Amino acid sequence: MPKNFLTILDMPRDEARQVLLRAKEMKDGKVRTDLLAGKTLLLIFEKASTRTRVSFEVGVRQLGGDPVFITSRDSQLGRSEPLKDTARVLSRYADGLIVRTFGQEKLETLVKYGTIPVINALTDEYHPCQIMSDVLTMYERTPSLDEIKVAWIGDGNNMAHSFINAAATFGFALSLACPAGYLPDQGILDKARSLGADITLTDDPARAVAGAHYVNTDVWASMGQEEEQKKREAAFAGYAVDDVLMAKAAPGACFMHCLPAHRGEEVSEAVFEGPASIVWDQAENRLHMQKAIIEWIYSN
Ligand code: CP
Ligand code: NVA
């Protein structure tokens, strides 16, 4: 059976810890440049991407493999060829699929009908590669992850869901502030809590950031929700991360954002460009962490 990475919970806790340590080693230059020799990984993207696409393409090359990028616009996926047929065809050509799409069930279909590993490069429900990279970014500053508090301010979206999973896997306390109607999925919360995660949910951003070492936010309208922008701007009024909110976090707290960011909406220009912001390290760590995830899948 191939290994897949559809959510952070696909990785047993001890293996996730190993992947974190390997990502740090890779960042320090210890990369197996022949890991993917002779292998082709297909990137199938049904939504826009800068970081995820480029960091995966570069990372696959650095591991000695060949990345091939396709979208639904220029493949038969956009003309309704069933995903289960696509999965079986692509499994005859390539050694893995790195997929950005809408519903998580599409990844599950690729797993069910294909015979090669599938990596989640963002769905409506989860963004596990991003949050694994964000865990690396926190770990570099505060190695005792079980002693930190992380705040999530804004939409209970794909990013929030993967943070919830990461809280269960890595043991940090997570406090989410989300307005009514934009809460994270209850089943995902229940599952993480059943695994021992320390998660609180409030509608008050000040409560969520109180004592937090890391303050995270994300766009208010994710890809596919563009027509809800105005409605969401109203719903998220008061959820912008600015200097006043950051002052309520722990001394020396860092600001995090997966990017792309909307300055003047979910984060102020001053916080985004200020000394607390670690967003460029987050972006860089995509490259290192994703290589470690690939190594987890392809090394025996
Ligand atoms: N953070 C992130 O996933 O960025 P892209 O949409 O540019 O890939
Ligand atoms: N929540 C955002 C993340 C983008 C990287 C989205 O899904 O569009």
Phi, psi angles (nearest 5°) of residue 99: -125, 130
pLDDT at 38: 98
Residue 258 known to be catalytic? yes
Residues 141 and 267 in one domain: yes
Residues 167 and 191 in one domain: yes
Residues 59 and 189 in one domain: no
Residues 276 and 143 in one domain: yes
Average of per-residue pLDDT across 243-250: 98
Residue 218 known to be catalytic? yes
Pocket mutation for ligand 2, best pick of 49, 120, 218, 220 (most atoms within 8 Å of C-beta)? 218
What's the rounded Cα separation, in Å, for the pair 135 and 163?
Answer: 9
pTM above 0.90, yes or no: yes
Residues 189 and 86 in one domain: no
Answer whether 3's CB lies under 8 Å from 120's CB. Answer: no
Q: Is the CB of 217 under 6 A from ligand 1?
A: no
- Count of domains observed in the chain: 2
Residues 91 and 143 in one domain: no
Is 2 within the bounds of a domain? no
Confidence of residue 160 (pLDDT cuts 50, 70, 90): very high
Check whether 300 has a pLDDT greater than 90.
Answer: no
Residues 146 and 89 in one domain: no
What's the rounded Cα separation, in Å, for the pair 109 and 147?
Answer: 38
Quote the tokens at residue 103: 């519903």
CA of 68 to the centre of ligand 1 (A): 18
Domain membership of residue 71 as a residue range: 8-126+286-298
Q: Note the pLDDT tens digit of each residue in 179-219.
A: 999 999 999 999 999 999 999 999 999 999 999 999 999 99
Residues 71 and 40 in one domain: yes
CA of 51 to the centre of ligand 1 (A): 5
The residues, any chain, with a CB within 8 Å of residue 18's CB and separated by 6 or more, are 296
What ipTM did this prediction achieve? 0.99
Is 1 within the bounds of a domain? no
What CATH number should be reported for the domain holding residue 103? Answer: 3.40.50.1370
Protein residue with its CA nearest to atom 3 in ligand 1:
52
CA angle 291, 220, 264 (to 5 degrees): 100
Check whether 1 has a pLDDT greater than 90.
Answer: no
CA of 71 to the centre of ligand 1 (A): 15
Average of per-residue pLDDT across 281-294: 98
Answer whether 279's CB lies under 8 Å from 255's CB. Answer: yes
Confidence of residue 110 (pLDDT cuts 50, 70, 90): very high
Q: Is the CB of 52 under 6 A from ligand 1?
A: yes
Is 249 within the bounds of a domain? yes
Residues 105 and 133 in one domain: no
